[in-house]
A = this chain, B = another copy of it.
């Protein structure tokens, strides 16, 4: 497994470099906005979504040079959502990835424009005419990312989440929130990687979607578990904040042990699905395990 872990380090580094190249220079007007954009994106992050893109692409050997683009796109969408979610009118968070949140470091108006610009940039990089995928695949990729991000995906999940603060939810309602809020972009990440393979077929896409649905939920359960069990230093954001904010979580609904068990079941189902795909699925399998066992 060591070589897979090393490869993940390589993927993280690739995506960080690709993002650095894509982001506008601080020398370019509006300088302060670009400074804030780079601050928000280039902080330490797990880069889970880019890793999913590379790992899904690796199944059928899509070249990393092509995967760089969707890897950047999903990380840009993810970062835009964090910057906006942290704003005072939303979650009002001061700490992110171990540093002041964007609006704390700069100001609210700038953070708003940072998020707006990052979302735009995500679509801009995917719409680069020189991206070496068939143009009908490219259009599908843009459509897929947009559906995952909008009011029927990530932003919609955020809206349902806000409305549910302080309410007693059922397990099914909680699952709906997370399927939208984090799940949609995780599924998009896996599928974007797969679409970079020119001969990808519908049946494989469906299997990968089922895989991603499960690890998306498992990811959120582990996030909730860590909010209970980890500490602020390791997380880079305040531990225990879900409880303080009276947010519905899996441990709150199921108890800690049951929540962990649910994550294990999802992991098992996800890896079973991978076994039915004929290709290099080791990277995705490693990532699935990492998502459920990570401590940050």
Interface assignment of A149: CB less than 8 Å from any CB of chain B:
yes
Contact of A112 with B109 in the complex, beta carbons under 8 Å: no
CA A156 to CA B149, docked complex, whole Å:
22
CA A151 to CA B115, docked complex, whole Å:
10
A34-68 near B? 1/0 per residue, CB < 8 Å: 10010000000000000000000000000000000
Contact of B156 with A33 in the complex, beta carbons under 8 Å: yes
Interface assignment of A14: CB less than 8 Å from any CB of chain B:
no
Which residues of the partner chain B approach A90 to less than 8 Å between Cβ atoms? Answer: 109, 112
CA A44 to CA B115, docked complex, whole Å:
27
Tell whether A33 pairs with B151 under 8 Å between CB atoms, given A84-B116, A112-B84, A127-B142: yes
Tell whether A151 pairs with B34 under 8 Å between CB atoms, given A135-B135, A136-B129: yes
How many copies of this chain does one complex carry?
2
The residue in chain B whose Cβ has the minimal distance to the Cβ of A152 is B24
| Residues of A in contact with B, size category | 35 or more
Tell whether A120 pairs with B140 under 8 Å between CB atoms, given A29-B156, A151-B34, A156-B30: no
Stretch at the interface among A159-167, A222-230, A239-247, A287-295: A159-167
CA A115 to CA B123, docked complex, whole Å:
16
CA A30 to CA B164, docked complex, whole Å:
11
Interface assignment of A21: CB less than 8 Å from any CB of chain B:
no
Q: Is the contact region of chain A dominated by helix, strand, or loop, or is it mixed?
A: helix
Interface assignment of A210: CB less than 8 Å from any CB of chain B:
no
Interface assignment of A155: CB less than 8 Å from any CB of chain B:
yes
Interface assignment of A128: CB less than 8 Å from any CB of chain B:
yes
A residues 1-47 in Cβ contact with B at 8 Å? 24, 28-30, 32-34, 37
The interface of chain A, by Cβ under 8 A from chain B, is 24, 28-30, 32-34, 37, 80, 84, 87, 89-90, 107-110, 112-113, 115-117, 119-121, 123-124, 126-129, 135-136, 138-140, 142-143, 146-147, 149-152, 155-156, 158-160, 162-163, 176
Q: A30-B151, A33-B151 are in contact. List 19 more A-B contacts (CB 8 A).
A: A29-B156, A30-B159, A32-B163, A33-B156, A34-B151, A80-B116, A84-B116, A89-B108, A89-B109, A115-B116, A119-B119, A120-B155, A123-B146, A124-B143, A124-B147, A126-B142, A135-B138, A138-B139, A142-B142
